[in-house]
Amino acid sequence: MRILIAAGHVIDPSQAIDGVFDILIKGRKIEGIYPKGKAPKGEIDRVIDARGMYVLPGLVDMHTHLREPGFEHKETIKTGTLAAIKAGFTSVCAMPNTMPVNDSAGITEYILQKAEEEGACAVFPIGAITKGQAGEELTDMDTMRNAGCVAFSDDGFPVEKSLLMRRALEYSKACGVPLIAHSEDLSLSAGGMMNEGLLSQTLGLGGIPNTAEETAVFRDIALSELTGARLHIAHVSTEGSVRIIRAAKSRGVKVTAETCPHYFSITEEAVKGYNTNAKVNPPLRTERDVKAIKEGLRDGAIDVIATDHAPHSKGDKMKEFDLAPSGISGLETALGLSLRLVDEGVLTLTELIRKMTVNPATILSLNKGGLKPGSDADAAIIDLKKSFNVDINQFESKGKNTPFDWWLLKGAVVVTVAGGKVHRW
Ligand code: DOR
């Protein structure tokens, strides 16, 4: 099967491509990129007319909660990957806070097997740092890496014991994979439920100070510096974290960082009315933090935009604010929210796509995120002129928990090609 994506504006930061090109796909691979009209003639089974559209490498989400095994009422590998491809993502990295936790090669193999059978796109498991994510005993990272884990994280929970975190970094370094830190000092967040400040006081909700994140980011970076291990900071939400990461990078520490669309799109104000769909960990912060996150994205302190797609069931989120779980269903709004950064002049389109493709792929050593000949045929075709209203009823994800319902976003995904398979929306 040969498919021609004709005359689209191709942006592929991995090979500094920004212009109108034809892309030829053969089977599951990219055959080549050619100047418009110059693709070799020969048998072509399908032509996708991409005139007036942007053609991007399939997006890579390095922070996704697929919930399977164990929480299939929230999401499954099938529904999560369907949500991904609808949103232009063709690679998702599955966080280990499932039930059982992905803390052994057997679970990793199960996830990969399920993804092979039912997944709509590539799934890369992230293994737990500690057994059961209990923060006491390290997992067998080497065996899990061999089974297919691309990184290790206790996401959802920090590794509280500093010596254990040190050993985890040493171990992950020996395994050649990065550690993804959920940096949070639980004694400072003290069971809080939203950002600490006037609003948390007014609402009578326990607050989580910025410092709960920043002291942990600082510790994790110090340990990365000590061990020389690669550290990736997940879901950065505060001004101070951006500053600490920027300073560490300037010293040459092997640290990278991600933020998520909700941390640069809305503030703690979204929690007003006790809106559990705006309850997320780390919490939504203030305008000042939002500004700093954007600056971090602009100057490179933050390398990646990840979704932290955290689907929860309606019943879970219908609970009172303090009982409802944290998390936002993020895949299906990620690109539209991120494209606002281009309109605002924070990032160029190329820089934005870099943070959603080649940067996460490079951090995790995935052979993804680009359209080089020979690479997997993963691409997203988007219409930047087309706006759409977010509509949870149209979500492929089981998780309808978003504070962005009915937002008007620009940049509709019209076609996703995942492993050579074409999905048109
Ligand atoms: O809000 C969050 N939800 N933050 C996390 O770190 C975990 C995630 C989840 O698994 O629901």
pLDDT tens readout for residues 169-189 = 999 999 999 999 999 999 999
Residues 260 and 346 in one domain: yes
Residues 183 and 107 in one domain: yes
* pLDDT (mean) for 191-198: 98
- pLDDT category at 252 given cuts 50, 70, 90 is very high
Enclosing H/E stretch for 225: helix 210-227
Tell me, what's the pLDDT at 42?
Answer: 84
Residues 310 and 193 in one domain: yes
CB contact at 8 A, 124 and 101 = no
pLDDT of 117 > 90? The answer is yes
Residues 338 and 324 in one domain: yes
pLDDT cut 70: percent of the chain above it: 100
Q: What is the pLDDT of residues 365-392, one digit of tens each?
A: 999 999 999 999 999 999 999 999 999 9
- pLDDT category at 335 given cuts 50, 70, 90 is very high
pLDDT of 418 > 90? The answer is yes
Look at the chain and report how many structural domains it folds into. 2
> What's the chain's average pLDDT?
98
Range of the domain at 200: 58-363
pLDDT of 27 > 90? The answer is yes
CB contact at 8 A, 259 and 298 = no
Residues 186 and 136 in one domain: yes
Residues 113 and 206 in one domain: yes
Residues 86 and 11 in one domain: no
Residues 253 and 333 in one domain: yes
Give ligand 1 pocket residues (Cβ under 6 A): 65, 97, 155-156, 182, 280-281, 310, 325-327
CB contact at 8 A, 233 and 281 = no
CB contact at 8 A, 61 and 378 = no
The edge-to-edge listing of strands for the beta sheet with 179-181 is: 59-64, 89-94, 122-127, 151-153, 179-181, 231-233, 255-259, 304-305
Dihedral angle, C-alpha 194, 317, 292, 240, nearest 10 °: 40
pLDDT of 114 > 90? The answer is yes
Tell me, what's the pLDDT at 135?
Answer: 98
Residue 117 CA to residue 124 CA, distance in Å, equals 14
- pLDDT category at 299 given cuts 50, 70, 90 is very high
Q: Ligand 1 centroid to 327 CA: how many Å?
A: 5
Residues 30 and 82 in one domain: no
Domain boundary among 317, 335, 363: 363
Q: What is the pLDDT of residues 61-85, one digit of tens each?
A: 999 999 999 999 999 999 999 999 9
Considering the domain boundaries, does residue 368 fall inside one? no
Q: What is the pLDDT of residues 388-408, one digit of tens each?
A: 999 999 999 999 999 999 999
Considering the domain boundaries, does residue 121 fall inside one? yes
Domain boundary among 336, 363, 390: 363
Q: What is the pLDDT of residues 348-365, one digit of tens each?
A: 999 999 999 999 999 999
Q: Which of 103, 154, 155, 308 is catalytic?
A: 308
Residues 285 and 192 in one domain: yes
Q: What is the pLDDT of residues 220-243, one digit of tens each?
A: 999 999 999 999 999 999 999 999
Q: Nearest-CA neighbor of 419 among 161, 140, 120, 19?
A: 120
**Any idea what the CATH number is for the domain that residue 413 is in?**
2.30.40.10
Considering the domain boundaries, does residue 156 fall inside one? yes
**Beta-strand relationship, 379-389 and 207-208:** unpaired
Residues 49 and 162 in one domain: no
Considering the domain boundaries, does residue 369 fall inside one? no
Residues 9 and 102 in one domain: no
CB contact at 8 A, 53 and 96 = no
Please choose from 281, 307, 309, 319 the residue to mutate so as to test ligand 1's pocket, defined by most ligand atoms within 8 A of CB: 281
pLDDT of 41 > 90? The answer is no
Domain boundary among 340, 363, 386: 363
**Any idea what the CATH number is for the domain that residue 281 is in?**
3.20.20.140
Considering the domain boundaries, does residue 370 fall inside one? no
* Residue identifier of the C-alpha nearest atom 4 of ligand 1: 281
